[in-house]
Structure 1
Amino acid sequence: MSRTKEIINKFPSFYNSWDKESTIFKVVSTFGTQLDEAEKDIDVILRSKWVDTAKRKDLEMLGAIYNINRRANEPDKDYRNRLKTAIQGFKGGGTISAIRTSLRIMLGLDPKYPLKIIENPPRRVREDIKVKSGETWEMSSKSIQDAENVSIEIDVEEGNSIKDPTIINMETDESITFNGNILAEKKLLIKDNSAVLGGKDMTDKLSRKTIPVIPRKKTEACVCGGYINGINNL
């Protein structure tokens, strides 16, 4: 309802203020129109102060507060989403809630859309290492956590064999030994607290059933025995 109509409705009916040709209507209409325009200006000002409603230069002025400039030919919608993501970062930092909110903004999802975040998801990593007896190498879990479910596969180059191979973590002094011979045509797999050589269970030949943990930080490992081609699966 316009301000003119609101004011007119407050006058007694016998004033005939509803008559658009009457003097009282024309006077009230003059002030009412000015009030309507002022209200529109106030609305524009308020909208320019909020990221969701600001446009063009007003949006860029808000971005300047966070030192985030508009990219070349970037439309308001994309620029607005970048600003909202940045603002959420300033407010919430790296919390799970802040990350979810930022993802919803970037993907254009409903604010209450359910998102599941898996921290440090498990990932299988394979590392091939070729060494001689007494040589060392560096390795780590390549994660923010130590690698616990580790398997080790050892094979020997053609024409060679290896006796009682031992793998040692030089940092923790943990080790695991296979008490036996490995020929070139056979592979030794140590996994899940067991050892299999050429398809035959040889778990009783292990010095320990559990494989030493591989720390998340880089550590040195060493192998003792004959010439081997070792494959470590993390």
Structure 2
Amino acid sequence: MDSTKRMVERLPRFYGGWHEDSLLYRFVDGLGKRCDEARKDLFGLMRAHWVDTAVGTELDQLAGIYGLKRRMGEPDSKFRERIKMVILEYKGGGTVAAIVSLASAFLGARTDEVGLVDNPLVPVVMERRVKSGDSWSMSSEGVEDVHPKVSLFVEPADMYFDVAKFDESPLPLDVIDPVLINMDDDERIEFRGILHGGQELVIEDGTAKLDGEGVEVHMTSKSVPRVSRKGSRWRYVESIQETIGVFDSGTFDSSVFETALATVRLRFSWMAHQLSTFELRIRNEALIRSGLTVDDVDMFLNRIKAAGVKAVIAVVR
């Protein structure tokens, strides 16, 4: 009606447009009603884009921009508060405090129900089958250098030969004075003695045990060489290395050929702080109360975390 009145007032008086029964007035009134409806739709659209005025599904769609979902039976007023909190926290970037606060708001949980651990610890295991003279490269796969636990297991002869056909093993395949060397850092550890097939030497935290018996007195060092975070080259040797025969230069009855060398299974294990990773810990009751799933939280974290950073979610009791 307001639009109709304004348009009629702009027409010349002698048109008689002001008369409601006239054809001109009815024509203008039809246009005016359309303008009024369009104005209402425009105002409604504007209100739908403002958190303070959006209602119902409009508010749900606004919240979806930030990965928020309305809880079962949650009124608009409470939902608005959560949306505003998330919008404010988005300004905090990817800091620990910002991520914890955002995740708490997303879940509707208390801040003491959500925690964050930078560079969480994970077990790392590296295994290799080596013979004297073999070398390889490895790194700590974490943010710092580590001193690993090392296991040397000498594979017995019956893994290669059918010893039942012999009165005794045709080749004892013993290991004499095994040495582990970190060639880049020039660090080494050596066991002075003989390891027979089937025996296992375990070195960890200044201790050394051969099949469970302490043998620290036979070690040249109390600690295993470091596994560096940047990576380093390693080598395994035995004292027999010097007598390994080479084609056309070996000495009969004194050179040992490679086929007679024992195979040693090396196992390095340690705990590493993961690179560029954080672990979000959520109490189980908070996750259940929110009605969300771990996948929902993971999608939310992927929106707010820094690029190249890995997010791990742990649900704790």
Q: Please tell me the TM-score bracket, short chain as reference.
A: 0.5 to 0.7
Match of 1:214 in 2: 227
Counterparts in 2 of 1:56-71, with a 5 A limit? Answer: 56=57
Counterparts in 2 of 1:89-168, with a 5 A limit? Answer: 89=90, 91-110=91-110, 112-148=111-147, 150-159=148-157, 160-168=173-181
The alpha-carbon deviation at position 156 of structure 1 amounts to: 1.0
Native 8 Å contact 2:179 2:236 kept in 1 = yes
Native 8 Å contact 2:127 2:268 kept in 1 = yes
TM-score, with length taken from structure 2: 0.48
Q: Distance in 1 between matches of 2:152 and 2:222?
A: 16
* Aligned with residue 201 of structure 1, among 214, 220, 231: 214
- Residue type of the partner of 1:229? R
- Residue type of the partner of 2:128? I
Change in Cα spacing, 1:188 to 1:101, as seen in structure 2 (3 Å) is same
Native 8 Å contact 2:182 2:226 kept in 1 = no
The alpha-carbon deviation at position 201 of structure 1 amounts to: 1.2
SS in structure 2 opposite 1:123?
strand
* Aligned with residue 201 of structure 2, among 140, 165, 188: 188
Change in Cα spacing, 1:87 to 1:208, as seen in structure 2 (3 Å) is same
- Residue type of the partner of 2:96? I
- Residue type of the partner of 1:77? R
Q: Distance in 2 between matches of 1:52 and 1:147?
A: 57
Change in Cα spacing, 1:98 to 1:69, as seen in structure 2 (3 Å) is closer
In structure 2, stretches of 5+ residues that fail to align are 1-42, 72-79, 158-172, 239-260, 271-317
The alpha-carbon deviation at position 197 of structure 1 amounts to: 0.9
Change in Cα spacing, 1:211 to 1:45, as seen in structure 2 (3 Å) is same
The alpha-carbon deviation at position 106 of structure 1 amounts to: 3.2
The alpha-carbon deviation at position 151 of structure 1 amounts to: 0.8
Q: Distance in 2 between matches of 1:169 and 1:105?
A: 49
Change in Cα spacing, 1:76 to 1:223, as seen in structure 2 (3 Å) is closer
The alpha-carbon deviation at position 208 of structure 1 amounts to: 0.6
**CA-atom RMSD, angstroms?**
3.8
Q: Which has the higher contact order (CA 8 A, sep 6+)?
A: 2
Q: Equivalent pairs: percent with the same residue?
A: 26
Match of 1:230 in 2: 266
Native 8 Å contact 2:132 2:237 kept in 1 = yes
Match of 1:15 in 2: none
Q: Distance in 2 between matches of 1:138 and 1:121?
A: 24
Q: Distance in 2 between matches of 1:84 and 1:54?
A: 17
In structure 1, stretches of 5+ residues that fail to align are 1-41
Match of 2:169 in 1: none
Confirm whether residue 175 of structure 1 aligns to residue 158 of structure 2.
Answer: no
- Residue type of the partner of 2:50? K
1:148-176 alpha-carbon deviations (Å, 9 max, x no partner): 3x211101111221111111112212111
Native 8 Å contact 1:92 1:98 kept in 2 = yes
Native 8 Å contact 1:163 1:179 kept in 2 = yes
1:87-132 alpha-carbon deviations (Å, 9 max, x no partner): 745x22221101101221332314x445332222333222211112
Q: Distance in 2 between matches of 1:154 and 1:82?
A: 58
Q: Distance in 1 between matches of 2:56 and 2:216?
A: 71
1:45-73 alpha-carbon deviations (Å, 9 max, x no partner): 6784338966655775797xxxx599xxx
Change in Cα spacing, 1:147 to 1:86, as seen in structure 2 (3 Å) is farther
Change in Cα spacing, 1:82 to 1:170, as seen in structure 2 (3 Å) is farther
Q: Number of matched residues?
A: 182
